[in-house]
């Protein structure tokens, strides 16, 4: 029986078991089973969140939460999961394509781009947890709101998260027929079609079907003849939600999701950036006239291509490339979630059964220069004419050929029970999950005859038991306490081979054994298998199937001196499971033993202390302030060791202050301001020279960042007009803990504008928008490749873009 068959059976049996439990309980429901949780239901106009797995006013929750409403999402033209970072303080992301995204919250992240790695900032689509950096980014459409919870979420949420959680919450089926259709056209022939239809189907059944189609020509101009522009969208997605509610005490909801990208040109979107290793073997940018002794070049990367016009670091166009070869993403994501809600006596029960499948292939050939066609395991010539129609252009030996393929199945089951009384709200339950993945990858540098290939599998079996209680000591004081016990069992099997001379070696790590073959003569013995003598390898096959467990906790004291003011003091202990560093490349032969010994890494634990203040100063005017201190144990740092990128456990700390202010000082006028200060450090960071040890900031942790928005709505022409401007600012920061000079990004500010009009009946709305009004060039991603081929991979955010949107609402 295959793993997939087992997972299907597991999901089906969990759903059937939960359905049987809920149905039988609903039949036994007594007349006194009504929940009194509606007593504290939010009033009209309040911002509602589900940060504690029930609906509450934002201002009543002692957690730093940022919320984007449906209107906010529309007015900011948000169409992908990563678009939300421009609207939420202390939320960043690191991405070299649309399919590889790591969210960063208050500096908490992990930059390992392996598909098998779970991110420390958990991402949810409704009740469905995204366990991979590939599934953490997806098309955004027909949402009710987005909630970003900052800080460890170690008790109520399905998966442990040290950084926080981002929830994307969909619009739900309605009991009357309604829907909308939205069309957007913009620069680079951007075409977005989005819509939804919702309503009753009869027999206590209702449904909502929505979808999006998004394509454009790409914002990165390719100057090589015959090559298409890069950075282009080409994807679509659909979601169906079916709700069945035969009584006030039982509800079943099935959500089906599917997204697909076909040869989407969201790969290899790098600007050409010649760099040279310094004394610590970290990259520094080269001017057009500067020489690099390491590569023996002047103003170029190692292969020798010279073109300052497309090198932003040399004053060229940041949105241009000369890259050739394959550069695309194929991605298919499917998900199905069954949620059951029922009242069982004095208990409210929630059952969530979720299944996901991901099939993805990503490839980038090139790093911004025109390159000769890649042939696996063949060393290319230094240069030669490009293929027609670019035969007049000189192509060079490729600096990078990188691909990742993944097929992943995930199934999970969560059961939550809650009890509400006059002064008490208790929640307890359990969570179980299986993630089964099959992966292949390559990180080759044909230019120096380095051409590895890796294949590996990883299986995770996880379960957790949790409980949290909210107890009102008085009308003004509430005590919250929670505990969660989690246990993960993992199994990994990894094989990597590099066949070409100079770096020729192979290695294997798995529960069946450990072995290597080194054809360079660097290691003694040249071939070794676990149990066959001394080699310096200390890791054992048992490390390929480890079990990790731990306890996370929450303790909070809330004080409400008035109905409009909350002061809270909290302690949250979060943790993230250990795992494996299965690099996409093989190590230098001299680092082979060290790499094997450090394939496994330990869980990280984050102890977070926070004090916060939330106040409603007037209707529509709120001021929220929080201050926090984070103390890490075994922070999982993603570092560079020769040709491999690995995770090492290091000590780290972080502390900061955040502010959110919203005011509506006049009819139709909205003003929002957010800001944050961060002070972070990661100690014992070993630089690539193998000698220098430094202390650096956590990745993507600017000292200062903030945002502002002004929106004015007024009556005009029988309808309502809208003017909006928003801006985002951040100070300088580094993309990695290694913080090479080429991985440092200076401070920047980005501004956007929008003008809209809506008819009096709210049926038709039209808007014109401009993003990045001042055409600011800044990077979303950077990776130091100076040691490999003398270039830094940098992904620049889109330049100034514009567009017009038209939306039609129908029904009620």
Looking at the chain, the whole-number percentage of residues with pLDDT higher than 90 is 69
Quickly state the pLDDT bin for 2 (edges 50, 70, 90): very low
Q: Rounded distance, CA 418 to CA 348, Å?
A: 5
The residue ranking higher by pLDDT, 760 or 60, is 760
What DSSP state is assigned to residue 391? T
Tell me the C-alpha to C-alpha distance, in Å, between residue 269 and each of 95, 363, 365, 439, 585.
11, 11, 10, 23, 21
594 forms beta bridges with none
Mean pLDDT over the full length of the chain: 88
- In this prediction, residue 51 carries a pLDDT of 65
Query: Residues 239-246: what's their mean pLDDT?
Result: 96
The answer to which of 433-442, 637-646, 722-731 has the lowest mean pLDDT is: 637-646
Q: Rounded distance, CA 525 to CA 265, Å?
A: 45
β strands within 248-326, DSSP E: 250-264, 275-277, 283-285, 291-292, 297-298, 320-321
- Phi/psi region, residue 40 (left: phi>0; alpha: psi -120 to 50; beta: rest), is alpha
Element (H, E) at 190: strand 190-202
> Is-contact 443 476, C-beta < 8 A?
no
Q: Rounded distance, CA 61 to CA 420, Å?
A: 17
Q: What is the dihedral of CA 531, 537, 540, 545, to 10 degrees?
A: -140
Nearest in space to 662 (alpha carbons), one of 78, 41, 166, 45: 45
Q: Which residue has the tokens 């309980």?
A: 25
458-490 confidence digits (pLDDT tens): 999 999 999 999 999 999 999 999 999 999 999
386-414 confidence digits (pLDDT tens): 999 999 999 999 988 999 999 999 999 99
Q: Which residue has the tokens 């979060």?
A: 574
- In this prediction, residue 116 carries a pLDDT of 86
Q: Over 90: is that where the pLDDT of 369 sits?
A: yes
122-149 confidence digits (pLDDT tens): 888 998 998 887 787 888 899 998 888 8
Q: Is 370 helix (H, G, I), strand (E, B) or coil?
A: coil
Does the reported pTM lie above 0.75? Answer: yes
For the chain, helix, strand, coil in percent to 5 are 10, 55, 35
- State both tokens at 781: 């991603």
């Amino acid at each position: 029986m295959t793993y997939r068959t087992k997972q299907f059976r597991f999901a089906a049996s969990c759903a059937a078991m939960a359905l049987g439990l809920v149905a039988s309980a609903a039949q036994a429901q007594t007349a006194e089973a009504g929940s009194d949780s509606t007593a504290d239901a939010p009033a009209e106009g309040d911002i509602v969140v589900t940060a504690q797995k029930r609906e509450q006013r934002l201002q009543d929750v002692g957690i730093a939460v940022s919320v984007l409403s449906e209107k906010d999402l529309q007015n900011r033209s948000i169409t992908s999961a990563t678009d939300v970072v421009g609207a939420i303080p202390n939320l960043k992301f690191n991405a070299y394509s649309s399919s590889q995204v790591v969210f960063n919250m208050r500096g908490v992240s992990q930059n390992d781009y392996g598909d098998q790695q779970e991110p420390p900032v958990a991402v949810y689509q409704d009740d469905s947890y995204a366990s991979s950096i590939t599934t953490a980014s997806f098309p955004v459409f027909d949402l009710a709101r987005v909630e970003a919870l900052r800080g460890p979420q170690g008790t109520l949420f399905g998966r442990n998260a040290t950084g926080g959680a981002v929830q994307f919450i969909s619009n739900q089926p309605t009991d009357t027929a309604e829907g909308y259709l939205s069309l957007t056209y913009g620069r680079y022939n951007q075409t977005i079609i989005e819509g939804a239809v919702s309503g009753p189907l009869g027999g206590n059944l209702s449904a909502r079907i929505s979808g999006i189609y998004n394509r454009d020509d790409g914002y990165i101009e390719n100057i090589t003849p015959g090559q298409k522009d890069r950075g282009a969208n080409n994807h679509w997605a659909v979601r169906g939600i079916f709700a069945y509610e035969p009584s006030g005490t039982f509800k079943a909801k099935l959500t089906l999701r599917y997204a697909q990208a076909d040869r989407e040109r969201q790969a290899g979107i790098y600007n050409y950036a010649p760099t040279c290793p310094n004394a610590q073997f970290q990259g520094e940018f080269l001017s057009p006239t500067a020489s690099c002794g390491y590569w023996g070049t002047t103003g170029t990367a190692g292969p020798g291509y010279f073109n300052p016009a497309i090198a932003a670091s040399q004053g060229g166009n940041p949105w241009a490339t000369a890259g050739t070869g394959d550069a695309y993403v194929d991605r298919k994501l499917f998900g199905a979630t069954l949620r059951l809600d029922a009242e069982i006596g004095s208990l409210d029960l929630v059952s969530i059964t979720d299944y996901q499948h991901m099939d993805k292939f990503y490839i980038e050939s090139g790093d911004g220069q025109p390159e000769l066609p890649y042939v696996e395991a063949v060393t290319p010539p230094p240069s030669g004419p490009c293929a027609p129609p670019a035969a007049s252009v000189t192509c060079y030996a490729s600096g990078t050929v990188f691909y990742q393929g993944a097929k992943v199945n995930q199934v999970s089951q969560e059961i939550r029970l809650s009890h509400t009384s006059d002064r008490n709200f208790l929640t307890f339950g359990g969570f179980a999950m299986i993630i089964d993945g099959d992966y292949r990858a390559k990180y080759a540098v044909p230019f120096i005859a380095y051409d590895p290939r890796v294949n590996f599998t990883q299986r995770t079996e996880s379960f957790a038991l949790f409980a949290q209680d909210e107890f009102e000591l008085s009308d003004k004081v509430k005590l919250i306490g929670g505990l969660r016990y989690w246990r993960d069992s993992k199994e990994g099997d990894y094989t990597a081979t590099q066949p070409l001379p100079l770096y020729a070696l192979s290695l294997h790590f798995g529960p069946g054994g450990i072995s290597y073959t080194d054809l360079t003569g660097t290691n003694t013995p040249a071939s070794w298998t676990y149990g066959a003598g001394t080699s310096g390898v200390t890791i054992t096959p048992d490390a390929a199937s480890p079990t990790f467990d731990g306890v996370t906790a929450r303790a909070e004291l809330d004080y409400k001196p008035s109905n409009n003011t909350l002061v809270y003091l909290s302690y949250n202990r979060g943790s993230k499971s250990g795992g494996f560093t299965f690099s996409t490349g093989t190590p230098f032969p001299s680092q082979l033993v060290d790499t094997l010994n450090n394939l496994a890494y330990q869980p990280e634990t984050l102890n977070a202390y926070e004090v916060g203040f939330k106040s409603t100063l007037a209707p529509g005017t709120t001021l929220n302030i929080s201050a926090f201190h984070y103390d890490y144990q075994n922070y999982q740092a993603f570092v560079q060791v020769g040709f491999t990128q690995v995770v090492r456990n290091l000590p780290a700390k972080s502390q900061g202050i955040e502010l959110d202010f919203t005011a509506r000082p006049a009819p139709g006028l909205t003003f929002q301001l957010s800001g944050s200060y961060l002070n972070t450090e990661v100690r014992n960071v070993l630089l690539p020279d193998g000698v220098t040890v430094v202390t650096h900031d956590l990745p993507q942790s600017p000292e200062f960042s903030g945002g502002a928005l002004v929106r004015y709505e007024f009556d005009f022409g029988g309808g309502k007009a809208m003017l909006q401007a928003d801006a985002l600012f951040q100070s300088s920061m580094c993309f990695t803990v290694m913080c090479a000079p080429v991985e440092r990004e200076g401070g920047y500010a980005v501004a956007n504008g929008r003008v809209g009009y809506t008819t009096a009946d709210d049926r038709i709305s039209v808007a014109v928008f401009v993003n990045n009004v001042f055409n600011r060039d800044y990077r979303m991603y950077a990776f130091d490749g100076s040691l490999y081929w003398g270039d830094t991979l940098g992904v620049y955010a889109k330049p100034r873009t514009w567009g017009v949107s038209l939306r039609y609402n129908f029904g009620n």
